[in-house]
Amino acid sequence: MKDKLRELGLTDNESSVYSALLELGPVHAGLITRKSGLHRRVVYDTLDRLIKKGLVGYIIENNVRLFQVADPKRFMELVKEREAIVQELMPMMSALYTKTREKEETNFYKGKQGLKKIFEDQIESGEEILVMGASMMAYDILQFYFKWFDKRRKEGKIKARIIFNGAGKKVNVPYADVRYMPEKYSSPLAVNIYGDKVAIILWKKETPLAILIKNRQIAEGYKKYFEFSWKSARS
What span, in angstroms and rounded, lies between the C-alpha atoms of 159 and 14? 57
Does residue 94 lie in a domain region? no
Higher-scoring residue by pLDDT: 2, 230: 230
pLDDT-derived band at 142 (thresholds 50, 70, 90) equals very high
Does residue 87 lie in a domain region? no
User: What letter does residue 32 receive in the DSSP assignment?
Assistant: H
Does residue 82 lie in a domain region? no
pLDDT in tens, 164-182: 987 667 888 999 999 998 8
Axis crossing angle, helix 40-52 with helix 29-36, rounded to the nearest 10: 110
* Domain end residue (candidates: 17, 44, 69): 69
Q: Is 146 exposed, middle or buried (0-12, 13-18, 19+ CB in 10 A)?
A: middle
**Which residue range is the domain that position 135 belongs to?**
105-232
Average pLDDT on 119-129 reads 96
Query: Does 226 lie in the same domain as 136?
Result: yes
Which segment of 42-51, 91-100, 135-144 scores lowest on mean pLDDT? Answer: 91-100
Does residue 74 lie in a domain region? no
Does residue 97 lie in a domain region? no
Quick check: 102 pLDDT over 70?
Answer: no
Contact 137, 169 (CB under 8 A): no
The contacts found for 73-81 with CB under 8 angstroms, 24 or more apart, are 75/8, 78/8, 78/9, 78/53, 78/54
